Amino acid sequence: MSGRARAIFVLKDPHRQVASYFRTHLDCEIDGYTQHPPSPQEIADCAEVLDIHAVVEAAKAAPTPPDVLSRARAIETECGAPLAEALSTDRHLGFGWITGGLYHRGGLSRLPYEKHVHLLCETWDATRRFLERRRPHFVCAPLFASFPSAILFFAAAKLGIPVRCLNTLAFGSYWYWTPDRCVSIPGIEEALADLAREPPPPPATITDIAPYARRAVRGTAGRGRVTDFIARAARAAVWHARAALSGYRKSDEVGLASKIEYLWSLHRNVRGELGRRYVPLATLQESRCVYYPLHYEPEASLNGVEPYFTNQLYAIEVLTKSVPADAFVVVKEHPAGVGNRPRGWIDTIARFPRVRLVHPFENSIELVRLAAATATISGTAGLEAAILGRPVVSLGPSYRFNFVGHVFQASDIPGLRRIFERIWALSEADIERFSADGARLQRAIERTCLPLPDCLLNQPASDATVETLAEALRRSLAASGGSAAARTH
Protein backbone atom coordinates (compact mmCIF):
# COMPACT_ATOMS: atom_id res chain seq x y z
CA MET A 1 0.00 0.00 0.00
CA SER A 2 1.09 3.65 -0.23
CA GLY A 3 3.20 5.37 2.39
CA ARG A 4 0.25 7.28 3.84
CA ALA A 5 -0.89 6.02 7.25
CA ARG A 6 -4.38 4.64 7.69
CA ALA A 7 -6.15 4.16 11.00
CA ILE A 8 -9.53 3.00 12.27
CA PHE A 9 -11.06 5.14 15.01
CA VAL A 10 -14.14 4.46 17.09
CA LEU A 11 -16.61 7.24 16.29
CA LYS A 12 -17.26 8.73 19.70
CA ASP A 13 -15.71 11.68 21.50
CA PRO A 14 -12.94 12.36 22.24
CA HIS A 15 -11.66 9.61 19.88
CA ARG A 16 -13.49 11.22 16.96
CA GLN A 17 -11.72 14.52 17.70
CA VAL A 18 -8.34 12.77 17.90
CA ALA A 19 -9.10 11.17 14.52
CA SER A 20 -9.70 14.63 13.06
CA TYR A 21 -6.33 15.77 14.45
CA PHE A 22 -4.59 12.77 12.85
CA ARG A 23 -6.29 13.51 9.54
CA THR A 24 -5.49 17.23 9.43
CA HIS A 25 -2.11 17.39 11.20
CA LEU A 26 -0.54 14.00 10.46
CA ASP A 27 -2.03 13.29 7.01
CA CYS A 28 -3.57 10.03 8.21
CA GLU A 29 -6.45 8.45 6.32
CA ILE A 30 -9.28 7.74 8.74
CA ASP A 31 -11.76 4.89 8.71
CA GLY A 32 -14.60 4.75 11.22
CA TYR A 33 -15.94 2.07 13.55
CA THR A 34 -19.28 2.60 15.24
CA GLN A 35 -21.85 0.71 17.29
CA HIS A 36 -24.57 3.26 16.47
CA PRO A 37 -25.93 4.39 13.09
CA PRO A 38 -23.29 6.78 11.69
CA SER A 39 -24.30 10.36 11.00
CA PRO A 40 -23.88 11.90 7.53
CA GLN A 41 -20.99 13.98 8.88
CA GLU A 42 -19.24 10.90 10.27
CA ILE A 43 -19.59 9.16 6.93
CA ALA A 44 -18.22 12.22 5.13
CA ASP A 45 -15.23 12.49 7.48
CA CYS A 46 -14.15 8.87 6.95
CA ALA A 47 -12.86 6.98 3.94
CA GLU A 48 -15.05 4.06 5.01
CA VAL A 49 -17.17 3.21 8.07
CA LEU A 50 -17.90 -0.18 9.63
CA ASP A 51 -21.43 0.10 11.05
CA ILE A 52 -21.60 -2.74 13.58
CA HIS A 53 -25.12 -1.63 14.53
CA ALA A 54 -26.30 -2.57 11.04
CA VAL A 55 -24.45 -5.90 11.22
CA VAL A 56 -26.11 -6.79 14.53
CA GLU A 57 -29.58 -5.73 13.35
CA ALA A 58 -29.26 -7.82 10.19
CA ALA A 59 -28.13 -10.85 12.20
CA LYS A 60 -31.02 -10.43 14.64
CA ALA A 61 -33.51 -10.46 11.77
CA ALA A 62 -31.93 -13.43 9.98
CA PRO A 63 -32.57 -17.10 10.84
CA THR A 64 -29.98 -18.69 13.10
CA PRO A 65 -27.95 -21.19 11.03
CA PRO A 66 -28.17 -24.79 12.29
CA ASP A 67 -24.37 -25.08 12.32
CA VAL A 68 -23.82 -21.87 14.29
CA LEU A 69 -22.12 -23.58 17.25
CA SER A 70 -19.62 -25.45 15.10
CA ARG A 71 -18.99 -22.22 13.22
CA ALA A 72 -18.30 -20.47 16.53
CA ARG A 73 -15.87 -23.21 17.51
CA ALA A 74 -14.02 -22.72 14.23
CA ILE A 75 -13.77 -18.98 14.95
CA GLU A 76 -12.39 -19.69 18.42
CA THR A 77 -9.71 -21.85 16.85
CA GLU A 78 -8.98 -19.21 14.23
CA CYS A 79 -8.71 -16.21 16.54
CA GLY A 80 -7.15 -18.10 19.44
CA ALA A 81 -9.60 -16.75 22.02
CA PRO A 82 -12.73 -18.25 23.61
CA LEU A 83 -15.89 -16.45 22.55
CA ALA A 84 -17.10 -16.73 26.15
CA GLU A 85 -14.81 -13.77 26.87
CA ALA A 86 -16.76 -11.68 24.35
CA LEU A 87 -20.08 -12.88 25.79
CA SER A 88 -19.17 -12.35 29.43
CA THR A 89 -17.95 -8.78 28.99
CA ASP A 90 -21.28 -7.72 27.44
CA ARG A 91 -24.01 -6.67 29.85
CA HIS A 92 -26.69 -8.06 27.52
CA LEU A 93 -25.22 -11.25 26.08
CA GLY A 94 -23.44 -12.02 29.35
CA PHE A 95 -26.43 -11.17 31.54
CA GLY A 96 -26.27 -14.41 33.54
CA TRP A 97 -22.60 -13.91 34.38
CA ILE A 98 -23.35 -10.58 36.04
CA THR A 99 -24.01 -12.07 39.47
CA GLY A 100 -23.67 -8.91 41.54
CA GLY A 101 -25.51 -6.22 39.62
CA LEU A 102 -28.95 -5.22 38.37
CA TYR A 103 -29.45 -4.33 34.75
CA HIS A 104 -32.60 -3.83 32.72
CA ARG A 105 -33.02 -6.74 30.34
CA GLY A 106 -33.13 -5.52 26.76
CA GLY A 107 -33.96 -7.13 23.46
CA LEU A 108 -30.50 -8.68 23.19
CA SER A 109 -30.69 -10.12 26.71
CA ARG A 110 -33.79 -12.14 25.90
CA LEU A 111 -32.43 -13.82 22.79
CA PRO A 112 -31.45 -17.51 23.07
CA TYR A 113 -27.83 -18.55 23.39
CA GLU A 114 -27.62 -19.77 19.79
CA LYS A 115 -28.72 -16.34 18.54
CA HIS A 116 -26.11 -14.68 20.74
CA VAL A 117 -23.48 -16.91 19.17
CA HIS A 118 -24.86 -16.03 15.73
CA LEU A 119 -24.38 -12.32 16.52
CA LEU A 120 -20.79 -12.99 17.54
CA CYS A 121 -20.07 -14.93 14.35
CA GLU A 122 -21.54 -12.26 12.09
CA THR A 123 -19.68 -9.53 13.98
CA TRP A 124 -16.42 -11.48 13.66
CA ASP A 125 -16.89 -11.97 9.91
CA ALA A 126 -17.75 -8.30 9.29
CA THR A 127 -14.93 -7.00 11.49
CA ARG A 128 -12.28 -9.27 10.04
CA ARG A 129 -13.30 -8.51 6.44
CA PHE A 130 -13.17 -4.78 7.19
CA LEU A 131 -9.70 -4.99 8.74
CA GLU A 132 -8.37 -7.18 5.93
CA ARG A 133 -9.76 -4.85 3.26
CA ARG A 134 -8.68 -1.57 4.85
CA ARG A 135 -5.36 -2.83 6.30
CA PRO A 136 -5.03 -0.10 8.96
CA HIS A 137 -1.70 0.60 10.60
CA PHE A 138 -3.46 0.79 13.97
CA VAL A 139 -6.92 0.70 15.53
CA CYS A 140 -8.12 3.24 18.09
CA ALA A 141 -10.70 1.04 19.79
CA PRO A 142 -13.32 1.36 22.53
CA LEU A 143 -12.61 -0.39 25.80
CA PHE A 144 -13.12 -4.14 25.99
CA ALA A 145 -16.64 -3.61 27.30
CA SER A 146 -19.10 -5.17 24.84
CA PHE A 147 -19.15 -8.10 22.46
CA PRO A 148 -18.43 -5.93 19.35
CA SER A 149 -15.42 -4.29 21.00
CA ALA A 150 -14.18 -7.69 22.19
CA ILE A 151 -14.42 -9.03 18.63
CA LEU A 152 -12.53 -5.97 17.37
CA PHE A 153 -9.69 -6.79 19.78
CA PHE A 154 -9.66 -10.45 18.71
CA ALA A 155 -9.64 -9.63 14.98
CA ALA A 156 -6.90 -7.01 15.32
CA ALA A 157 -4.76 -9.42 17.34
CA LYS A 158 -5.27 -12.16 14.75
CA LEU A 159 -4.10 -9.83 11.96
CA GLY A 160 -1.24 -8.32 13.97
CA ILE A 161 -2.72 -4.80 14.02
CA PRO A 162 -1.77 -2.63 17.02
CA VAL A 163 -4.68 -1.47 19.19
CA ARG A 164 -4.85 1.58 21.43
CA CYS A 165 -7.64 2.38 23.91
CA LEU A 166 -8.09 5.58 25.87
CA ASN A 167 -8.43 4.78 29.56
CA THR A 168 -8.49 6.58 32.88
CA LEU A 169 -7.12 5.69 36.29
CA ALA A 170 -10.13 7.26 38.05
CA PHE A 171 -7.41 8.77 40.24
CA GLY A 172 -6.16 12.31 39.83
CA SER A 173 -7.86 12.65 36.42
CA TYR A 174 -5.02 10.72 34.77
CA TRP A 175 -5.48 9.28 31.27
CA TYR A 176 -3.35 7.11 29.02
CA TRP A 177 -3.40 5.01 25.84
CA THR A 178 -3.35 1.31 26.66
CA PRO A 179 -2.39 -1.37 24.13
CA ASP A 180 -4.38 -4.24 25.64
CA ARG A 181 -7.75 -5.26 27.05
CA CYS A 182 -6.42 -5.40 30.63
CA VAL A 183 -5.60 -1.66 30.46
CA SER A 184 -1.93 -1.93 31.39
CA ILE A 185 -0.03 1.37 31.58
CA PRO A 186 2.87 1.42 29.10
CA GLY A 187 6.21 2.31 30.66
CA ILE A 188 5.07 2.46 34.28
CA GLU A 189 7.13 -0.52 35.46
CA GLU A 190 10.26 0.98 33.92
CA ALA A 191 9.47 4.37 35.45
CA LEU A 192 9.05 2.77 38.87
CA ALA A 193 12.37 0.93 38.48
CA ASP A 194 14.11 4.20 37.56
CA LEU A 195 12.61 5.94 40.59
CA ALA A 196 13.82 3.12 42.85
CA ARG A 197 17.39 4.23 42.06
CA GLU A 198 16.65 7.75 43.29
CA PRO A 199 16.23 9.01 46.88
CA PRO A 200 12.71 8.23 48.12
CA PRO A 201 10.20 11.08 47.71
CA PRO A 202 8.08 12.28 50.64
CA PRO A 203 5.20 9.93 51.57
CA ALA A 204 2.14 10.32 49.37
CA THR A 205 -1.03 11.89 50.74
CA ILE A 206 -4.61 11.42 49.60
CA THR A 207 -6.98 13.66 51.50
CA ASP A 208 -10.35 12.50 50.16
CA ILE A 209 -12.10 10.03 47.91
CA ALA A 210 -12.04 10.67 44.16
CA PRO A 211 -14.38 13.41 42.85
CA TYR A 212 -16.42 10.89 40.83
CA ALA A 213 -17.05 8.90 44.03
CA ARG A 214 -18.09 12.05 45.86
CA ARG A 215 -20.56 12.82 43.05
CA ALA A 216 -21.86 9.25 43.28
CA VAL A 217 -22.57 9.74 46.99
CA ARG A 218 -24.75 12.77 46.22
CA GLY A 219 -26.52 11.01 43.35
CA THR A 220 -27.24 7.87 45.37
CA ALA A 221 -28.68 9.84 48.26
CA GLY A 222 -31.15 11.38 45.81
CA ARG A 223 -32.24 8.06 44.32
CA GLY A 224 -34.04 7.15 47.52
CA ARG A 225 -36.61 9.92 46.96
CA VAL A 226 -39.90 9.19 45.20
CA THR A 227 -39.56 12.43 43.25
CA ASP A 228 -36.27 11.16 41.83
CA PHE A 229 -37.92 7.94 40.64
CA ILE A 230 -40.75 9.90 39.01
CA ALA A 231 -38.28 12.21 37.24
CA ARG A 232 -36.19 9.30 35.93
CA ALA A 233 -39.27 7.41 34.75
CA ALA A 234 -40.53 10.53 32.97
CA ARG A 235 -37.19 11.03 31.20
CA ALA A 236 -37.24 7.39 30.09
CA ALA A 237 -40.78 7.78 28.73
CA VAL A 238 -39.82 10.92 26.79
CA TRP A 239 -36.76 9.19 25.30
CA HIS A 240 -38.80 6.19 24.17
CA ALA A 241 -41.49 8.44 22.69
CA ARG A 242 -38.92 10.40 20.68
CA ALA A 243 -37.24 7.19 19.53
CA ALA A 244 -40.58 5.76 18.40
CA LEU A 245 -41.42 8.92 16.43
CA SER A 246 -38.01 9.01 14.75
CA GLY A 247 -37.97 5.29 13.96
CA TYR A 248 -34.64 4.84 15.73
CA ARG A 249 -34.04 1.44 17.30
CA LYS A 250 -30.99 0.42 19.30
CA SER A 251 -29.59 -3.06 18.78
CA ASP A 252 -29.75 -3.57 22.56
CA GLU A 253 -33.10 -1.82 22.94
CA VAL A 254 -34.69 -1.91 26.38
CA GLY A 255 -38.47 -1.62 26.52
CA LEU A 256 -40.04 1.19 28.51
CA ALA A 257 -41.74 -1.26 30.90
CA SER A 258 -38.42 -2.98 31.63
CA LYS A 259 -36.70 0.35 32.19
CA ILE A 260 -39.36 1.57 34.63
CA GLU A 261 -39.32 -1.78 36.44
CA TYR A 262 -35.55 -1.43 36.81
CA LEU A 263 -35.84 2.16 38.07
CA TRP A 264 -38.44 1.10 40.64
CA SER A 265 -36.24 -1.77 41.85
CA LEU A 266 -33.34 0.65 42.14
CA HIS A 267 -35.41 3.16 44.11
CA ARG A 268 -36.78 0.49 46.45
CA ASN A 269 -33.37 -1.10 47.02
CA VAL A 270 -31.66 2.24 47.71
CA ARG A 271 -34.15 3.01 50.46
CA GLY A 272 -33.56 -0.42 51.98
CA GLU A 273 -29.77 -0.25 51.84
CA LEU A 274 -29.50 3.28 53.22
CA GLY A 275 -31.79 2.25 56.07
CA ARG A 276 -29.77 -0.86 56.93
CA ARG A 277 -27.87 -1.03 60.24
CA TYR A 278 -24.13 -0.85 59.65
CA VAL A 279 -21.08 -1.32 61.85
CA PRO A 280 -19.79 2.08 63.04
CA LEU A 281 -16.23 2.87 61.99
CA ALA A 282 -15.25 3.58 65.59
CA THR A 283 -15.87 -0.04 66.60
CA LEU A 284 -13.30 -1.23 64.07
CA GLN A 285 -10.42 0.83 65.45
CA GLU A 286 -9.09 -1.95 67.67
CA SER A 287 -9.83 -4.80 65.25
CA ARG A 288 -7.60 -6.35 62.67
CA CYS A 289 -9.41 -6.08 59.38
CA VAL A 290 -9.07 -6.44 55.64
CA TYR A 291 -10.98 -3.85 53.64
CA TYR A 292 -12.88 -5.03 50.56
CA PRO A 293 -14.79 -2.26 48.72
CA LEU A 294 -17.37 -3.71 46.37
CA HIS A 295 -17.05 -3.12 42.64
CA TYR A 296 -19.96 -1.65 40.72
CA GLU A 297 -21.60 -4.18 38.37
CA PRO A 298 -21.95 -4.44 35.44
CA GLU A 299 -18.88 -2.36 34.64
CA ALA A 300 -16.07 -2.64 32.10
CA SER A 301 -13.46 -2.16 34.82
CA LEU A 302 -14.57 -5.50 36.31
CA ASN A 303 -16.38 -7.55 33.68
CA GLY A 304 -14.23 -6.42 30.77
CA VAL A 305 -10.64 -5.90 31.87
CA GLU A 306 -10.40 -8.91 34.22
CA PRO A 307 -11.03 -12.11 32.23
CA TYR A 308 -10.50 -14.66 34.98
CA PHE A 309 -11.99 -13.48 38.29
CA THR A 310 -15.20 -11.45 38.54
CA ASN A 311 -17.54 -13.12 41.07
CA GLN A 312 -17.63 -10.88 44.12
CA LEU A 313 -19.50 -13.29 46.36
CA TYR A 314 -16.73 -15.79 45.74
CA ALA A 315 -14.18 -13.05 46.42
CA ILE A 316 -15.68 -12.45 49.86
CA GLU A 317 -15.92 -16.19 50.50
CA VAL A 318 -12.21 -16.80 49.85
CA LEU A 319 -11.21 -13.71 51.84
CA THR A 320 -13.27 -14.71 54.88
CA LYS A 321 -11.86 -18.25 54.73
CA SER A 322 -8.29 -16.97 54.45
CA VAL A 323 -7.87 -14.23 57.07
CA PRO A 324 -6.55 -15.24 60.53
CA ALA A 325 -9.01 -16.07 63.30
CA ASP A 326 -8.61 -12.65 64.94
CA ALA A 327 -9.44 -10.72 61.76
CA PHE A 328 -12.53 -9.47 59.93
CA VAL A 329 -13.32 -8.55 56.34
CA VAL A 330 -14.82 -5.06 56.19
CA VAL A 331 -17.12 -4.72 53.18
CA LYS A 332 -18.35 -1.38 51.87
CA GLU A 333 -20.76 -0.90 49.00
CA HIS A 334 -19.63 1.24 46.05
CA PRO A 335 -21.42 4.62 46.34
CA ALA A 336 -22.87 4.26 42.85
CA GLY A 337 -23.79 0.62 43.46
CA VAL A 338 -26.21 1.21 46.33
CA GLY A 339 -29.48 -0.47 45.34
CA ASN A 340 -28.04 -1.80 42.10
CA ARG A 341 -27.77 -5.36 43.40
CA PRO A 342 -30.01 -8.43 43.09
CA ARG A 343 -32.54 -8.80 45.88
CA GLY A 344 -30.93 -10.34 48.95
CA TRP A 345 -27.38 -10.01 47.60
CA ILE A 346 -26.13 -7.71 50.37
CA ASP A 347 -27.93 -9.90 52.94
CA THR A 348 -25.92 -12.88 51.67
CA ILE A 349 -22.70 -10.93 52.21
CA ALA A 350 -23.79 -9.87 55.69
CA ARG A 351 -24.31 -13.53 56.66
CA PHE A 352 -20.73 -14.52 55.86
CA PRO A 353 -18.78 -15.18 59.09
CA ARG A 354 -16.14 -12.53 59.75
CA VAL A 355 -17.83 -9.90 57.56
CA ARG A 356 -18.49 -6.42 58.89
CA LEU A 357 -20.65 -4.18 56.70
CA VAL A 358 -19.95 -0.45 56.92
CA HIS A 359 -22.11 2.34 55.52
CA PRO A 360 -21.69 2.92 51.77
CA PHE A 361 -20.92 6.59 52.37
CA GLU A 362 -18.03 5.99 54.78
CA ASN A 363 -14.78 7.53 53.57
CA SER A 364 -12.88 4.86 51.65
CA ILE A 365 -9.50 6.52 52.27
CA GLU A 366 -10.06 6.31 56.04
CA LEU A 367 -10.84 2.60 55.68
CA VAL A 368 -7.68 2.07 53.62
CA ARG A 369 -5.63 3.67 56.39
CA LEU A 370 -7.43 1.71 59.10
CA ALA A 371 -7.17 -1.75 57.52
CA ALA A 372 -4.21 -4.09 57.67
CA ALA A 373 -4.70 -4.57 53.92
CA THR A 374 -7.06 -3.56 51.13
CA ALA A 375 -8.36 -6.32 48.86
CA THR A 376 -9.56 -5.69 45.31
CA ILE A 377 -10.13 -7.35 41.97
CA SER A 378 -9.42 -4.38 39.74
CA GLY A 379 -10.54 -1.32 41.68
CA THR A 380 -9.26 2.19 42.32
CA ALA A 381 -9.14 1.56 46.09
CA GLY A 382 -6.27 -0.86 45.48
CA LEU A 383 -4.30 1.86 43.70
CA GLU A 384 -5.06 4.38 46.44
CA ALA A 385 -3.89 1.91 49.09
CA ALA A 386 -0.71 1.15 47.13
CA ILE A 387 0.09 4.86 46.77
CA LEU A 388 -0.42 5.34 50.51
CA GLY A 389 2.01 2.47 51.17
CA ARG A 390 -0.64 0.13 52.54
CA PRO A 391 -0.56 -3.60 51.66
CA VAL A 392 -2.86 -4.59 48.81
CA VAL A 393 -4.31 -8.06 48.17
CA SER A 394 -5.06 -8.42 44.47
CA LEU A 395 -7.63 -11.06 43.58
CA GLY A 396 -7.41 -10.23 39.88
CA PRO A 397 -4.70 -12.07 37.94
CA SER A 398 -4.79 -9.24 35.36
CA TYR A 399 -4.82 -6.28 37.77
CA ARG A 400 -2.68 -3.55 36.23
CA PHE A 401 -0.76 -2.88 39.47
CA ASN A 402 0.25 -6.45 40.29
CA PHE A 403 3.86 -5.47 39.54
CA VAL A 404 4.07 -3.22 42.63
CA GLY A 405 6.08 -4.76 45.47
CA HIS A 406 3.42 -4.40 48.18
CA VAL A 407 0.58 -5.63 45.93
CA PHE A 408 0.25 -9.36 46.67
CA GLN A 409 -1.69 -11.41 44.13
CA ALA A 410 -3.64 -14.61 44.76
CA SER A 411 -7.20 -15.75 44.20
CA ASP A 412 -7.14 -19.15 45.90
CA ILE A 413 -7.42 -19.86 49.62
CA PRO A 414 -3.94 -21.41 50.14
CA GLY A 415 -2.30 -18.49 48.35
CA LEU A 416 -4.33 -15.92 50.26
CA ARG A 417 -3.52 -17.56 53.61
CA ARG A 418 0.19 -17.27 52.84
CA ILE A 419 -0.28 -13.61 51.93
CA PHE A 420 -2.15 -12.79 55.14
CA GLU A 421 0.48 -14.58 57.22
CA ARG A 422 3.07 -12.37 55.59
CA ILE A 423 1.02 -9.19 56.08
CA TRP A 424 0.33 -10.00 59.73
CA ALA A 425 4.10 -10.39 60.27
CA LEU A 426 5.15 -7.09 58.65
CA SER A 427 7.71 -5.01 60.50
CA GLU A 428 7.99 -1.24 60.81
CA ALA A 429 10.82 -1.37 58.26
CA ASP A 430 8.48 -3.11 55.81
CA ILE A 431 5.83 -0.44 56.28
CA GLU A 432 8.40 2.32 55.74
CA ARG A 433 9.57 0.64 52.54
CA PHE A 434 5.98 0.30 51.32
CA SER A 435 5.41 3.99 52.02
CA ALA A 436 8.44 4.96 49.93
CA ASP A 437 7.40 2.63 47.13
CA GLY A 438 3.87 4.07 47.20
CA ALA A 439 5.23 7.59 46.76
CA ARG A 440 7.36 6.32 43.87
CA LEU A 441 4.29 4.73 42.31
CA GLN A 442 2.52 8.08 42.34
CA ARG A 443 5.55 9.69 40.65
CA ALA A 444 5.60 6.89 38.07
CA ILE A 445 1.96 7.61 37.26
CA GLU A 446 2.77 11.28 36.84
CA ARG A 447 5.57 10.36 34.41
CA THR A 448 3.55 7.98 32.26
CA CYS A 449 -0.02 9.32 32.29
CA LEU A 450 -1.74 12.54 31.22
CA PRO A 451 -3.41 14.83 33.80
CA LEU A 452 -6.56 15.86 31.92
CA PRO A 453 -9.29 17.01 34.33
CA ASP A 454 -11.64 18.05 31.49
CA CYS A 455 -11.43 14.72 29.63
CA LEU A 456 -14.51 12.47 29.73
CA LEU A 457 -15.42 9.48 27.58
CA ASN A 458 -18.31 10.17 25.21
CA GLN A 459 -17.95 13.92 25.76
CA PRO A 460 -16.27 16.52 23.51
CA ALA A 461 -12.86 17.66 24.77
CA SER A 462 -11.17 21.04 24.45
CA ASP A 463 -8.77 21.67 21.56
CA ALA A 464 -5.82 21.61 23.97
CA THR A 465 -6.89 18.25 25.40
CA VAL A 466 -7.41 16.80 21.92
CA GLU A 467 -3.90 17.86 20.89
CA THR A 468 -2.45 16.37 24.09
CA LEU A 469 -4.27 13.08 23.50
CA ALA A 470 -3.33 12.94 19.82
CA GLU A 471 0.35 13.61 20.44
CA ALA A 472 0.39 11.05 23.26
CA LEU A 473 -1.17 8.50 20.90
CA ARG A 474 1.45 9.28 18.26
CA ARG A 475 4.24 8.82 20.83
CA SER A 476 2.67 5.57 22.01
CA LEU A 477 2.71 4.21 18.47
CA ALA A 478 6.28 5.42 17.96
CA ALA A 479 7.40 3.70 21.17
CA SER A 480 6.05 0.38 19.91
CA GLY A 481 7.90 0.75 16.60
CA GLY A 482 6.76 -0.69 13.30
CA SER A 483 4.90 0.74 10.33
CA ALA A 484 2.27 2.53 12.40
CA ALA A 485 4.93 4.66 14.04
CA ALA A 486 6.82 5.35 10.85
CA ARG A 487 3.78 6.70 9.03
CA THR A 488 2.52 9.02 11.78
CA HIS A 489 5.72 11.03 12.24
Rounded average pLDDT over 281-304 = 89
Rounded Cα distance between 440 and 447, Å, is: 10
| Domain interval for residue 391 | 281-448
| Shared domain check, 439 and 310 | yes
| Shared domain check, 456 and 442 | no
For residue 184, give the DSSP letter.
Answer: -
| Shared domain check, 417 and 329 | yes
Quote the percentage of the chain above a pLDDT of 70.
96
| Shared domain check, 343 and 287 | yes
> Which pLDDT value is given to residue 304?
87
- In this prediction, residue 486 has a pLDDT band, given cuts at 50, 70 and 90, of very low
What CATH number is given to the structural domain containing 324?
A: 3.40.50.2000
Helix (H, G, I), strand (E, B) or coil at 470: helix
Q: 367 and 208 in contact (C-beta within 8 Å)?
A: no
> Which pLDDT value is given to residue 216?
78
Quote the percentage of the chain above a pLDDT of 90.
74
Q: Is residue 184's pLDDT more than 90?
A: yes
| Shared domain check, 123 and 68 | yes
Q: Is residue 254's pLDDT more than 80?
A: no
Rounded average pLDDT over 106-113 = 86
Q: How many domains does the chain fold into?
A: 3
Q: Is residue 252's pLDDT more than 80?
A: no
What is the residue-wise DSSP string for 421-444?
Answer: HHHHT--HHHHHHHHHHHHHHHHH
Among 165-179, 205-219, 381-395, 475-489, the minimum mean pLDDT is found in 475-489
> Which pLDDT value is given to residue 303?
86
Q: What is the pTM of this model?
A: 0.93
Instruction: Please check whether residue 39 lies inside any domain of the structure.
Output: yes
| Shared domain check, 365 and 334 | yes
| Shared domain check, 473 and 394 | no
Helix (H, G, I), strand (E, B) or coil at 291: strand
Instruction: Please check whether residue 196 lies inside any domain of the structure.
Output: no
What is the residue-wise DSSP string for 386-429?
Answer: HHTT--EEE--TT-TTTTSTTEEE--SHHHHHHHHHHHHT--HH
Among 117-131, 169-183, 240-254, 427-441, the minimum mean pLDDT is found in 240-254
* Position 304, amino acid: G
| Shared domain check, 171 and 35 | yes
* Position 44, amino acid: A
> Which pLDDT value is given to residue 91?
85
Rounded Cα distance between 169 and 123, Å, is: 30
Span 329-350, pLDDT tens digits: 999 999 989 999 998 999 999 9
Bigger pLDDT: 205 or 186? Answer: 186
Instruction: Please check whether residue 174 lies inside any domain of the structure.
Output: yes
| Shared domain check, 173 and 34 | yes
| Shared domain check, 421 and 461 | no
Q: What are phi and psi of 100, to 5 degrees?
A: -125, 25
> Which pLDDT value is given to residue 214?
75
| Shared domain check, 466 and 339 | no
| Shared domain check, 458 and 443 | no
Quote the mean pLDDT of the chain: 92
